[in-house]
Amino acid sequence: MESNPVRERPLPGERAADATHAGLVGARIRQYRKERGLTLRGLAARSGLSIGFLSQVERGISSIGLTALGSVAKALDHTVAEFFDAGADSPDQAVGPLPTHFTLTRAETPATQYVSAQQTYRMLSERGPDLVLEPMLVHIAPGGRREAAYGHAGEEFAYVISGELLYEVDGVEHRLRPGDSVHLRSSVPHSMYNDTDAVTTVVSVVTPRLF
């Protein structure tokens, strides 16, 4: 990882902090896009996201989910971590080499967290060099702008622990409640949105790894 964007932050719901993060990520996207000499149209073609959506994200009007940001990062030849501000030393820096076949994360292990507007992502595993799953605990605050459905490489799974989640898959909306789950090929256009008035908590597992 080229930079350490790790910082413990409160759950989404503090609008000022969320807006700051949305503006920071958008500014980084614009910076890296211009450094590569790409127009918004060019970035849209590479990432699979719409020009209008990318324009709103760059201006801090719309937020961008972590998997969508992964598509942008790949298109711009940057890591996802580089779109977040630098924080404290990464808690998942291990002493000595990590095993290639497994990782073990204790409840008391300091967690790496990333905030992208309405969503807080808590990484649930250490960085195993040959592992491909990205398990996360995701807190999704209510409100905010609803992202357009999109597809990308990989596979993903979401299990609702608390709250409700509106999950759109291939144009069909599904309301997920505690105990419900969805598993899909990420190439199918999809999006999720919390249309309630409370925080929704989800265990999410995606491929490929984002960090």
The pLDDT assigned to 119 comes to: 86
Q: Show Cβ contacts of residue 186 under 8 Å, excluding neighbours closer than 6 positions.
A: 67, 151, 152, 153, 154, 155, 156, 206, 207
- Alpha carbons within 13 angstroms on the beta-carbon side of residue 10 total 7
* CATH class of the domain defined by 113-207: mainly beta
Tokens encoding 74: 């790949």
**Residues with pLDDT less than 50, the chain:** 1-20, 86-95
| φ, ψ for residue 176, nearest 5 deg | -100, 135
What's the pLDDT score for residue 111?
A: 82
Res 36: pLDDT: 93
pLDDT of amino acid 85: 64
- Alpha-carbon span 63 to 180, nearest angstrom: 25
Is it true that the peptide bond before 178 is cis, omega within 30 degrees of 0? no
What pLDDT is stored for residue 58 in this prediction?
Answer: 92
Place of tokens 């090929």: 185
Residue spans per domain, the chain: 113-207
CB 64 within 8 A of CB 57: yes
Beta bridge partners of 207: 155
User: Rounded to the nearest 10 degrees, what angle do helices 51-58 and 40-47 cross at?
Assistant: 110
| pLDDT value at residue 77 | 94
